[in-house]
């Protein structure tokens, strides 16, 4: 893909896709299968790497694909393509939302959307947690540690994650699978 094609590719996907990074990733996968100009293993590697790095997954995958096709320039242009649509939309909406946030209709709308969101997140989280614990029951320890440290004791998330990560490694070194 040329630089301009990369920008349009990501801009278009990002502008019409609701539901965050994973949904965007799914659509990029489908498009990529149609194009067939990148080896499947290479693409799987990219997704895997994007998943183990911090930051929005959609942004990471845009960076990696852009880099694959056109080097650094391609990476920057692809990331811009992903970012611009949501950025512009929120920027345009923000002043109105702040101004009319107290109106009953606006509040009602957000309350309704939030109820739906809570239901969706409940489903995602339940699935994820069950899978994590099914893979290895020892995962329960770092899992609960993260929740307790951040949720109960308000420990800085970075500190909490480093501690839980270290304990997870130590636990494996000591014994458990």
Partner 1 sequence: MSTILTLISVFTQIAICAFGGGLATLPLIEYQLIVKTGWLTESDFAQILALSQVTPGPIAINAATFSGFQQAGVYGSIVSTATMVIVPMTILSLTLHALKNVSDEKNKKFKQYLRPLVSGLLTLSLLSPLKVTLNNGYRAIILFLIGLLLVNYVKFVREHTPYMLIAFGIIGILYL
In the list 60, 65, 70, 74, the residue contacting partner 1 (rule: CB under 8 A) is 60
Task: Tell me the C-alpha distance between 6 and 14, whole Å.
Answer: 12
In the list 31, 40, 71, 117, the residue contacting partner 1 (rule: CB under 8 A) is 117
Token pair of 44 as six digits: 């799987």
- Cα separation values, 142 from 110, 139, 154, 160, 176, Å: 34, 6, 16, 10, 13
Footprint on residues 124-163 left by partner 1 (CB under 8 A): 124-125, 128-129, 132-133, 135, 139-147, 150-151, 154, 156-158, 161
DSSP 3-state percent helix, strand, coil across the chain (nearest 5):
85, 0, 15
Residue 81 is a binding residue for partner 1 (CB under 8 A): no
**Pick 5 or 22: Cβ nearer partner 1:** 22
Footprint on residues 86-115 left by partner 1 (CB under 8 A): 86-87, 89-91, 93-95, 97-98, 101, 105, 107-115
Instruction: State the binding string over 19-58 for partner 1 (x if CB under 8 A, else -).
Output: xxxx-x--------------------x--xxxxxxxxxxx
Token pair of 86 as six digits: 């949501």
| Burial per residue of 43-69, b for 16 or more beta-carbon CB atoms within 10 angstroms, e otherwise | beebbeebeeeeebbbbbbbbbbbbbb
């Amino acid at each position: 893909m040329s630089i301009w094609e990369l920008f349009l590719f990501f801009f278009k996907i990002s502008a019409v896709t609701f539901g965050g990074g994973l949904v965007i990733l799914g659509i990029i996968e489908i498009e990529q299968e149609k194009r067939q100009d990148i080896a499947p293993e290479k693409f799987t590697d990219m997704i895997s790497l994007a998943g183990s790095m911090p930051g929005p997954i959609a942004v990471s995958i845009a960076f990696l694909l852009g880099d694959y096709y056109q080097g650094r320039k391609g990476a920057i242009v692809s990331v811009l393509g992903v970012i611009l649509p949501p950025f512009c939309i929120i920027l345009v909406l923000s002043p109105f939302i702040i101004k009319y946030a107290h109106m009953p209709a606006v509040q009602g709308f957000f309350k309704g959307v939030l109820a739906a969101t809570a239901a969706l997140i409940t489903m995602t989280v339940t699935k994820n947690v069950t899978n994590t614990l099914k893979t290895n029951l020892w995962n329960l320890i770092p899992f609960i540690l993260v929740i307790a440290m951040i949720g109960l004791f308000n420990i800085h998330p970075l500190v909490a994650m480093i501690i839980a990560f270290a304990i997870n490694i130590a636990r494996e070194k000591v014994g458990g699978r």
